[in-house]
A and B are shown apart, each in its own frame.
Chain A
Amino acid sequence: GNSVTQMEGPVTLSEEAFLTINCTYTATGYPSLFWYVQYPGEGLQLLLKATKADDKGSNKGFEATYRKETTSFHLEKGSVQVSDSAVYFCALSDLRGGSEKLVFGKGTKLTVNP
């Protein structure tokens, strides 16, 4: 079935470091891909999304490119801040069987130290 695999955390970085969180997917058809972020004590928020191959989603300095050839949607940020500390979830849209829903990865916890 459709699934999302993202890198195991936790990830700990210093402020201004480069961030990559890997995400690969397995899907039939052409799903849309998403990154959601969950700050401490809050629900999930959409960070960015891409709806077709080669699309690049971007928001708040984060970027991810929909790579069909490698079935990947890696999240990157050039210079992280302490305020980026959160759990990041990769997800895809599952359109099988007439039932539309999001399939999430397990989440990657990021801690950024000053």
Chain B
Amino acid sequence: ETGVTQTPRHLVMGMTNKKSLKCEQHLGHNAMYWYKQSAKKPLELMFVYSLEERVENNSVPSRFSPECPNSSHLFLHLHTLQPEDSALYLCASSQDRSSTDTQYFGPGTRLTVL
């Protein structure tokens, strides 16, 4: 498998559930990202990891908890979410953290919080 993959593609969860989103990149990249895509809003950068170290956290609520166990995998752990957290969550990777590097995106996980 090539590129950036994300699982699951769709997720429905209640506000008291705990779930995790998974992202895997097969490109040998050093940087990985989580974005939130909501209707009629710009993409929001949530987290950035470079060489498995978190380098940016854009004031994301603590109910979202990222984990990067190695340079190929990125997780987003979810707990006690709110309905307004329903969105498309996109993972991306790039060779390095430079903003001029092309970012490669996965297809996203469509999350619905009931």
Chain A residues within CB distance 8 Å of chain B = 4, 32, 36, 41-46, 49, 51, 89, 93-95, 99-107
Contacts and interface: CB of A to CB of B under 8 A. Distances in A.
A4 B42 CA distance: 9
Interface string B91-103: 1100001111011
A89 B99 contact: no
Interface centre among B41, B43, B48, B98 (most CB of A within 10 A): B43
B53 interface: no
Interface stretch (B60-68, B78-86, B104-112): B104-112
A24 B40 CA distance: 18
Interface residues of B, number: 24
Contact of A43 (B41, B90, B99): B90
Contacts, number: 54
Given A49-B102, A100-B98, A102-B103, A43 B4 contact: yes
A4 B41 CA distance: 12
A73 to B, nearest CB: 14
> What does DSSP make chain B's interface, helix, strand, loop or mixed?
loop
Interface centre among B45, B56, B102, B103 (most CB of A within 10 A): B103
A43 B102 contact: no
Contacts of B42: 4, 103-107
A105 B44 CA distance: 10
Given A100-B99, A102-B99, A43 B43 contact: no
Given A32-B99, A46-B103, A101 B45 contact: yes
Interface of B: 4, 6, 40-43, 45, 48, 55-56, 90-92, 97-100, 102-108
Nearest to A46: B102
A59 to B, nearest CB: 12
A89 B90 contact: no
Nearest to A41: B107
Given A102-B45, A105-B42, A94 B105 contact: no
A106 B41 contact: yes
